[in-house]
Amino acid sequence: MHTIPRMFTAAILVAVLSLPARVEAENSERDTPPEEQEIAYAETVSKEAQAWLDYLQDLDRRYPDSGKANPERVLAEEGEKAALLYCRAIGFDGPCTIETATGQERFVDARDARGIAKAGWFDWLWTLFSRIGVIPEHAACPAPYTMVEIYMDDEDNNNNNQRSGWLGATVSNHNTTWRFCRLSLKATSDFRPLPIMGDDYDYSVLSLGLLCPSGARRVWRRHDNEDSANNNSHSGSIFPNFSLWPGNWMIAHCHFDGAAFAWGGYMTTYPNIGIKYGVFASPSMPSIYALAHGWVYQDDEDFLNTNLWIGSPDLVMSGSNNTTRHLAKVQ
Q: What percent of the chain has pLDDT over 90?
A: 83
Confidence at residue 3, expressed as pLDDT on a 0 to 100 scale: 36
Domain membership flag for residue 266? yes
pLDDT in tens, 258-290: 999 999 899 999 999 999 999 999 999 999 999
Q: What is the mean pLDDT of residues 15-37?
A: 50
Q: How confident is the model at residue 45 (pLDDT cuts 50, 70, 90)?
A: confident
Q: Does 9 have pLDDT greater than 60?
A: no
Mean pLDDT for all residues in the chain: 90
Domain membership flag for residue 75? no
Confidence at residue 8, expressed as pLDDT on a 0 to 100 scale: 39
DSSP state of 158: T
Q: Does 20 have pLDDT greater than 80?
A: no
Q: What is the mean pLDDT of residues 9-38?
A: 48
Q: How many domains does the chain have?
A: 1
Rounded to whole angstroms, the Cα distance separating 172 from 63 reads 36
Q: CB of 50 within 8 A of CB of 10?
A: no
Q: CB of 125 within 8 A of CB of 79?
A: yes
Confidence at residue 22, expressed as pLDDT on a 0 to 100 scale: 42
Domain membership flag for residue 190? yes
- Which stretches of 132-232 are DSSP H helices? 185-189
Domain membership flag for residue 236? yes
Rounded to whole angstroms, the Cα distance separating 137 from 139 reads 7
Rounded to whole angstroms, the Cα distance separating 109 from 100 reads 13
Q: CB of 223 within 8 A of CB of 251?
A: yes
Say whether the peptide bond before residue 95 is cis (omega within 30 degrees of 0).
no
Question: Three-class SS string for 37-72?
Answer: HHHHHCCCCCHHHHHHHHHHHHHHHHCCCHHHCCHH
Confidence at residue 221, expressed as pLDDT on a 0 to 100 scale: 98
Confidence at residue 10, expressed as pLDDT on a 0 to 100 scale: 39
Q: What share of the chain is helix, strand, coil (3-state, %, to 5)?
A: 20, 30, 50
Q: How confident is the model at residue 4 (pLDDT cuts 50, 70, 90)?
A: very low
From the CA atom positions of the chain, what is the Rg in Å?
19
Phi and psi at residue 159, in whole multiples of 5°?
Answer: -55, 135
DSSP state of 117: B
Q: Taking the model in full, what pTM does it have?
A: 0.89
Domain membership flag for residue 83? no
CA dist 69 → 37, 49, 62, 179, 235 (Å): 46, 26, 10, 29, 30
Residues of the domain holding 218 = 4-41+130-329
The sign of the torsion formed by the CA atoms of 325, 44, 98, 218 equals positive
Q: Does 29 have pLDDT greater than 70?
A: no
Domain membership flag for residue 323? yes
Q: What is the mean pLDDT of residues 64-82?
A: 96
Rounded to whole angstroms, the Cα distance separating 56 from 233 reads 23
Confidence at residue 102, expressed as pLDDT on a 0 to 100 scale: 76
Phi and psi at residue 108, in whole multiples of 5°?
Answer: -135, 165
Among 200, 248, 192, residue whose Cα is nearest residue 46: 248
pLDDT in tens, 126-164: 999 999 999 999 999 999 999 999 999 999 999 999 999
Confidence at residue 199, expressed as pLDDT on a 0 to 100 scale: 97
Confidence at residue 11, expressed as pLDDT on a 0 to 100 scale: 39
Rounded to whole angstroms, the Cα distance separating 8 from 327 reads 27
Rounded to whole angstroms, the Cα distance separating 268 from 194 reads 6
Domain membership flag for residue 193? yes
Q: How confident is the model at residue 33 (pLDDT cuts 50, 70, 90)?
A: confident
Q: Does 97 have pLDDT greater than 50?
A: yes
Q: What percent of the chain has pLDDT over 70?
A: 88
Q: CB of 85 within 8 A of CB of 52?
A: yes
Rounded to whole angstroms, the Cα distance separating 184 from 115 reads 33
Q: Does 245 have pLDDT greater than 70?
A: yes
Domain membership flag for residue 308? yes
Say whether the peptide bond before residue 144 is cis (omega within 30 degrees of 0).
yes
pLDDT in tens, 171-212: 999 999 999 999 999 999 999 999 999 999 999 999 999 999
